[in-house]
Copies of this chain bind each other. A is one copy, B any other.
């Protein structure tokens, strides 16, 4: 289909020996490391899933770092992080590091992290481990602190239906914009958690792929650990709901917005001014969230409206421990793909 000669090998990065074998055979110039449990609500369901999330993500990345050192120390590790590592501090968020002036002295230090779930914390742990490995072993790595991805189509997926991306709208692996589109199409109110002032970085799925490409094409030097804040715009949750409402109404849908008690522990009104300059400097030309895009998402969702499972949309996983007991039967466990929260 693409004319490119590609190869697929399935392996488990938690098994170190297998990872070394793959690297020995292929000797890559770059590794794009997406192999992690990617859901915040999943990590908050219960004890077992919290521990699974952190051990899986941390040990997997440690294995990759060690295998790089042993087999291909010049290889560039492109790692998927998350904007959620920073939390919502009351100062500007820089890209990975902060220049601090304190009591008359200066240093550039890792940006302080205040992650809001065991999943987001697993990425914080990864970041600290990778920084150390770059310093101690002269590895090179780019950490892509990604915002929330939206969008369904890329040039590649349009070539063949079988290349369609996964689309998550459930409470565990879904993201707010996807959920709102589904709710608008099937006639349910858009559910905003709490006040809806939670502001986050967002980017189009096309830009996600371009960012990874830009990182790979512009490798850091040996020993360098760099962080790119990978998003193109910020929105708050209520603002997103209102955009979907407007676009839905243009399509003749009757769309209501409903505020739910927030199942998460997070600030619902806060300062948020994250920098996102490095990828733009490398040539990223953002696809911004426009009426046209929202419109096409709603139409695409409408094609599959008959397949929507209503019972998996509302939040049952709660951060504060007062949660309703969640069981596998109630939740959608489909393995997630590129969607980061």
Interface residues, chain A, CB within 8 Å of chain B? 16, 47-48, 50-51, 54-55, 58-59, 62-63, 66, 69-70, 89-92, 98, 100-103, 105-107, 109-118, 121, 124-125, 128-129, 131-132, 135-137, 265, 271, 319-321
Contacts and interface: CB of A to CB of B under 8 A. Distances in A.
Contacts of A137: 320-321
Contacts of A129: 54, 118, 121
Nearest to A109: B112
7 contacts: A47-B62, A51-B62, A98-B102, A98-B112, A100-B102, A100-B112, A109-B112
Nearest to A103: B92
Contacts of A16: 47-48, 51
A115 B132 contact: yes
B125 A114 contact: no
A319 B133 CA distance: 10
Given A58-B54, A91-B103, A321 B69 contact: yes
A267 B107 CA distance: 15
A59 B62 CA distance: 15
Contact of A91 (B70, B102, B118): B102
B54 A66 contact: no
A66 B51 CA distance: 10
B132 A109 contact: no
Given A54-B59, A55-B55, A98-B100, A115 B89 contact: no
Contacts of A63: 47, 51
Given A47-B16, A59-B55, A62-B51, A265 B112 contact: no
Contact of A121 (B91, B111, B132): B132
How many subunits of this chain does the assembly comprise?
A: 2
A116 B92 CA distance: 27
Nearest to A97: B112
Contact of A265 (B107, B109, B111, B135): B135
B59 A51 contact: yes
A81 to B, nearest CB: 14
Nearest to A20: B47
Given A16-B47, A319-B136, A90 B106 contact: yes
A259 B301 CA distance: 69
A240 B131 CA distance: 30
A321 B69 CA distance: 8
Given A16-B47, A55-B55, A102-B91, A320 B128 contact: no
